[in-house]
Structure 1
Amino acid sequence: MKRVIVGLLLAALAIPAIASETWRVNSQVVSTGDSEGRLRQIAGKPDRETPIETSRGGLRGYRLEYFQQTKSVQVEIINGRVSDIKQIEN
Structure 2
Amino acid sequence: MKLTVAVFILAFLATSAAAADTYRFGSQVISTGDSEGRLRQVAGKPDRETPIETRRGGLEGYRLEYYRRGKSVQIEVVNGRVAKITQIDS
Which consecutive unaligned segments of at least 5 residues does structure 1 have? 1-18
Paired residue type of 1:61: G
Instruction: Give the total of aligned pairs.
Output: 72
Q: CA RMSD in A?
A: 1.3
Using a 3 Å threshold, how does the CA distance of structure 1 residues 48 and 20 change in structure 2: closer, same or farther?
A: farther
TM-score normalized by the length of structure 1: 0.77
Quote the sequence identity (%): 71
Asked if 1:22 is matched to 2:28, the reply is: no
Q: Distance in 2 between matches of 1:56 and 1:33?
A: 25
Q: Distance in 1 between matches of 2:77 and 2:69?
A: 23
Task: Considering Cα pairs closer than 8 Å and 6+ residues apart, tell me whether 1 or 2 has the greater RCO.
Answer: 1
Q: How does 1:73-88 map to 2 (within 5 A)?
A: 73-88=73-88
* Equivalent in the alignment of 2:47: 47
Asked if 1:35 is matched to 2:45, the reply is: no
Question: After superposition, what is the alpha-carbon deviation per residue over 1:17-75, rounded to whole angstroms, capped at 9, x for unaligned?
Answer: xx960000110000000000000000000000000000000000000000112201000
Which consecutive unaligned segments of at least 5 residues does structure 2 have? 1-18
Q: Distance in 2 between matches of 1:51 and 1:20?
A: 23
